[in-house]
Structure 1
Amino acid sequence: MTNRVRSLATRVTASLTTIQQPSSSTATVSNDEEMIVKDSILKRIESFTSHIHNFAVKSPIKHHFQDEDVSRPESPPSDVDADQEENISLANETKTNQYFTYDVKHAQLRVMVLGPGGVTIPEMDRLRHLIPDGTITVMCLTWNVASRSQNHLSKIEKLITSEQSADRADLICLCFQELPSINAYYHQETVKSLAKAVTDTHLIFCWVRKWSQMVIIFIRESLVAYTSTPEWQFISFSPIVKPVRTKGAIAVFFRIFQASVIFVTCHMTHGPVLNRICDYSKICDSLRFSALKKGGTLPCSGVKQADCVFWFGDLNFRLRSRERVDALDSQNKRHENINDSYFDQLLTDDELTLEKCKGNVFEGFSEAYINFPPTHKFILGTNDYVSDRIPSYTDRILYYAKESGRIRPVKYDCLWEENASDHKPVYGFFAMRVLEQRY
């Protein structure tokens, strides 16, 4: 017991013992004298209450379950035009539309244990039920739609909708390039259409459209309470942003359980390979998220500040020679019929592979093994390459993890049967560890 507590106890005891109990002789005490006694008792009680109050306020002892400030930092100022504000939506914001409703019932947890960034960590039993092995599944998909309408999304819907709902990826991130500029509501119709496909298991975590680019993230409903509010940033590769074939990157940052995650989706510049090297450098130098700042300093730059990074989109890296591609005749383009060594030979002419080996781009990033044909450029409505362009692996998915083995690729492929665009959709499934090994 501290000296302060002893002193308080002594004063209370002394105060109470001085109050005399009335004897039988006090029956004749006048009313005035009775009021004096009562007034004396009340003053001592007030004194006692004051001591208790001062002790509670000044005591250095803190309550174990004291409420914590879990307010999240605001996103840094962005270059979103006023007329584009309605094209940005977060699941954590209140919406009346059924496709944009944040279900808060999962946020009412019995135990409020907070991890980095104010992310809720559930009790151990709940944690083992949600993610038994400490990992979640992530799906990334990129598709340059070549200004085609949202009516061509049926194959994408089928891909993200597994017959067994438990087999769906926990996080689903879809990015699209070259949205039709004449359709100002393409993003809303697309979000609604894709949301219906997974509405029984997933919520819209966030979506962002910037001119002709768009990113949508769905999250399993049971996990949304264990994420932070997402931040996003758009980086243009040119001083003047064009509404058609916009070249730039949309990046989204958030935390889930004990992992910080960045999705970088982009449409890089065509032409000489130096253009794409400059685009990559600009993204790395420009990305800043307030939730990644350390010790009150300015937000850290660079994508590698996060634990896990997925970088995908129409990266526009090309094959330098057509000689090996010509071996793909119209009967053998289905990659099931091609030996894997053939794709290894193709990649020896791949700009991204070569520049990565030189350390000019994606240093520290990995890519799953490619065993599918080049995904660009096709004659619309067919699976035939155009004759005046070298078929190339323009659509790619790369990943980075601070800790080795934190991200494990499960599948990497293209939707060969989708021929509405001159690009094939490319998708990947990954296992991502979101809890520390000790858990």
Structure 2
Amino acid sequence: MLSVTDLMPTSTNSADSSPTADTGMSRGHYRRMSSFNREFPDIPVLQFDSKGDKLDPDKPKLRIRTLTWNIAGHQPKEDLTDVLGLAPERESTPDGSASSSADIVNEGKPEADLIAIGFQELSASPAAPVMESVIMSEIWTTTLKKRMSSQDYVLLQSIRLQGIVLFVFSKSRHLKYVRYMDTAYLRLGASGWWGNKGAVGISFEIYDVTLCFVNSHLSPHDHAFKDRVKNHRQILRDMVFVGGRTDTSCILEHDYAVWLGDFNFRIEGISQDKTLHYIESQKWPQLLKHDQLHRAAFVEGAFSTFQEGKIEFPPTYKFVTGTSIYDTRNPAKIRRPSYCDRILWRTRTDARKAALIEYTSHMNHQISDHKPVTAVLEIALGSEQEQYVVFDPIDRWFVGQHGYFRYSAKPGTFYSAWDWIGLYKASYTSFDEYVTYVWSPGASEENLGCINGRYVLKPGRYLLVYFSSEHKCGIGFSEIFEIVSA
């Protein structure tokens, strides 16, 4: 495990600055790297090589899968089964048996309850037209929704800042326990005027805990270390969630926060040849001693109170696109392979527990000069919350006829004239896919509503969703019912 003590010199002689045997870096360099820990001993530094907490096996848990990937302006041309942690898609064979075009890498693993996906560089060039990012976002959104819906995931929320986009998908059974949905973004490019660099965030409450996901793309290039540290501080200070709970307006106020993205921290202080040697011999601890994120943590206090899992995979940048070969073609523009793509997490108090299940990269993907990185966490929950809105069972409706429904609201439920009730196909993939909707007639203990028959056109399986303008999400879901031909 690489910790502060690992970075301290073995000798107390300050005049001894000879290179260490395995890194070529001076002991004085290690001494400087521990300066934040000495100056602020009561503030925990970023904890590396963490496995998180031990969870009580008898208490409810939520499994969260996270993915970060700088896609360098490319479309989804590869099978995403492994990075999304999904069961393989099955195809029928001539003999009627099922087969899969994907490696069966996820069979036998528990499915995630939530999946957070962060992409960077939807458009590869900072100067690319804004519409290019919009088009690429639509392409990736459509692909993800189609693939995720086959495993009963619904897009809970998404947010995009130029080429930086964040999606959160949820198993449909959890949707009725989501509250106080909110999003935020922060531009960091061109002194805050341009969004090619920056961060986006999604905040919400689920069951009895508050969650925050942040996807960031920090300043590039080896020499911009100080800029990246500054970026991190700006995000913590200036990214504010104004439409959710009043007690979770910033990242650190959430029970659980997951921060992922292309942080752009590089390997420094060793040659490209030495870097490649460490990679070929899989000497990850030696390589990580030259990782700028470690220096940012121990010298600058960056990402203090966050944790990162043990890295036991090769650097994820920079590759020749279409291969798994590091790009060393241009001697005049040397880019040492680096761990640019990271996933960190934190818990607000000791009462909140999170365990790291998996932290890995996926070297088989070749559409970008970055490789995707995923992490799987389990977080502890308390008790289930009472639903705000409950629909009475619906037997069936008939095509072309008015559909009547009844629902009740929990006492004290906030009601707005902007609340609405949507009719959805049972196969819906996001809240914007309603067939039709009506404005909510109220949120009292007994409410009666009606969907106009002129919009009930096709037989099939449907459900109703009560969408709250205060919570910015559905807070009531009917059971699935049939609409049949009259």
Q: Same fold (TM over 0.5)?
A: yes
Verify the 8 A CA contact 2:84 2:115 in the aligned structure 1.
no
SS at match of 1:137: strand
What aligned pairs does 1:331-342 form with structure 2 within 5 A after superposition? 333=280, 339=282, 342=283
Distance 2:377 2:69 in 1: 18
- In the alignment, which of 375, 383, 393 is matched to residue 339 of structure 2? 393
1:225 aligns with 2:225: no
More helix by percentage: 1
Contact 1:325 1:346 in 2 (8 A): no
Does 1:167 find its partner at 2:122? no
- Deviation digits for residues 252-289 of structure 1 (CA, Å, limit 9, x no counterpart): 10011111111010000124211011101111111222
Question: 2:367 maps to which residue?
Answer: 420
2:387 paired residue number: none
Deviation at 1:406, TM superposition (A): 1.1
Whole-Å Cα distance in 1 between the matches of residues 215 and 169 of structure 2? Answer: 15
Which of the two has higher C-alpha Rg?
1
CA offsets, 1:75-129, max 9 Å, x none?
A: xxxxxxxxxxxxxxxxxxxxxxxxxxxxxxxxxxxxxxxxxxxxxxxxxxxxxxx
Residue in 2 aligned with 1:406? 353
Q: What does the per-residue CA deviation read over 1:50-98, in whole Å, with 9 as the maximum and x for residues that have no partner?
A: xxxxxxxxxxxxxxxxxxxxxxxxxxxxxxxxxxxxxxxxxxxxxxxxx
CA distance in 1, matches of 2:227, 2:81: 30
Query: How much is the aligned-residue C-alpha RMSD, in angstroms?
Result: 2.5
Asked if the contact 1:324/1:346 (under 8 Å) is kept, the reply is no
Matches within 5 A, 1:33-48: none
Mapping for residues 106-117 of structure 1, pairs under 5 Å: none
Task: Tell me if structure 2 keeps the 8 A contact 1:231–1:252.
Answer: yes
Give the conservation status (yes or no) of the 8 Å contact 2:67–2:84.
no
Q: Who is 2:319 aligned against?
A: 378
- In structure 2, which of residues 226, 236, 239 is the aligned counterpart of residue 287 of structure 1? 239
Q: Tell me: CA distance 1:157–1:327, structure 2 relative to 1, closer, same or farther (3 Å).
A: closer
After TM superposition, give the deviation of residue 324 of structure 1 in Å. Answer: 7.7
Q: Structure 1 residues 233 and 156 mapped into 2: Cα distance closer, same or farther (>3 Å)?
A: farther
- Residue by residue over 1:26-54, the C-alpha shift from the partner in whole angstroms, topping out at 9 and shown as x without a partner, is xxxxxxxxxxxxxxxxxxxxxxxxxxxxx
CA distance in 2, matches of 1:390, 1:158: 25
1-structure distance, mates of 2:160, 2:184: 11
Q: Specify which of 326, 334, 351 is matched with residue 292 of structure 2.
A: 351
Q: 1:306 to 1:158 in 2, by over 3 A?
A: closer
1 or 2, which has the higher strand percentage?
A: 2
- Cα contact 1:157–1:197 (8 A) shared by 2: no
Matched, 1:274 2:226: yes
* Distance in 1, Cα, partners of 2:271 & 2:187: 35
Q: 1:407 to 1:359 in 2, by over 3 A?
A: farther
What displacement does 1:425 show?
0.5
Structure 1 match to 2:148? 198
Structure 1 segment 67-216 matched on structure 2, within 5 A: 133-152=59-78, 154-155=79-80, 159-163=84-88, 167-180=110-123, 181=128, 182=132, 184-199=134-149, 200-216=151-167
1:363 CA drift (Å): 0.5
Sort the Cα spacing of 1:156 and 1:242 in 2 relative to 1 into closer, same or farther, 3 A: farther
Whether the aligned pair in 1 keeps the contact of 2:118 and 2:165 (CA below 8 Å) is yes
Amino acid at match of 1:401: T
Query: 2:340 & 2:326 partners in 1: Cα distance?
Result: 14
Separation (CA, whole Å) in 1 of partners of 2:305 and 2:359: 19
1:49-60 equivalences under 5 Å are none
Instruction: Select 1:310's aligned residue among 243, 258, 278.
Output: 258
* Kept after mapping to 2: 8 A contact 1:150/1:186: no
One-letter identity of the residue aligned with 1:257: Y
Distance 1:436 1:358 in 2: 41
**Pairing partner for 1:263 from 198, 213, 217:** 213
Deviation at 1:157, TM superposition (A): 6.5
Q: Secondary structure at the match of 1:231?
A: strand
Q: For the residues of structure 1 that align with 2:210 and 2:301, how far apart are their CA atoms?
A: 25
SS in 2 for 1:313: strand
How far apart, CA to CA, are the structure 1 residues paired with 2:245 and 2:284?
39
- CA distance in 1 between partners of 2:208 and 2:227 (Å): 36
Equivalents in 2 of 1:240, 1:307: separation in Å?
29
Structure 1: gaps spanning 5 or more residues: 1-130
Deviation at 1:326, TM superposition (A): 3.6
Aligned pair in 2 of structure 1 residues 324, 401: CA closer, same or farther (>3 Å)?
farther
Aligned to 1:362: 303
How many residue pairs were aligned? 292
2:370 maps to a residue whose letter is H
Answer yes or no: is the 8 Å Cα contact 1:231–1:254 preserved in 2: yes
Match runs of 1:16-27 below 5 Å: none
Shift in CA distance, 156/396, structure 1 to aligned 2, threshold 3 Å: farther
Cα distance 1:314–1:306, how it changes in 2: closer, same or farther (>3 A)? same
Counterpart secondary structure, 1:344:
helix
Q: Contact 2:318–2:326 (CA<8 Å) still a contact in 1?
A: yes
Q: Compare 229-238 and 317-326 and name the one that shifted more.
A: 317-326
Aligned to 1:236: 187
- What SS does the aligned partner of 1:167 have? coil
Instruction: Give, in angstroms, the shift of residue 329 of structure 1.
Output: 6.0
1:185 CA displacement: 2.1
CA distance in 1, matches of 2:212, 2:251: 7
Match of 1:120 in 2: none
- Does 212-221 or 159-168 show the bigger shift? 159-168
Q: TM-score, normalised by structure 1?
A: 0.62
Summarize the Cα distance change of 1:132–1:192 in structure 2 as closer, same or farther, 3 Å threshold: farther
Give the deviation of 1:168 after TM superposition: 1.8
Consecutive unaligned residues of structure 2, counting only runs of 5 or more, are: 1-56, 89-106, 329-333, 385-486
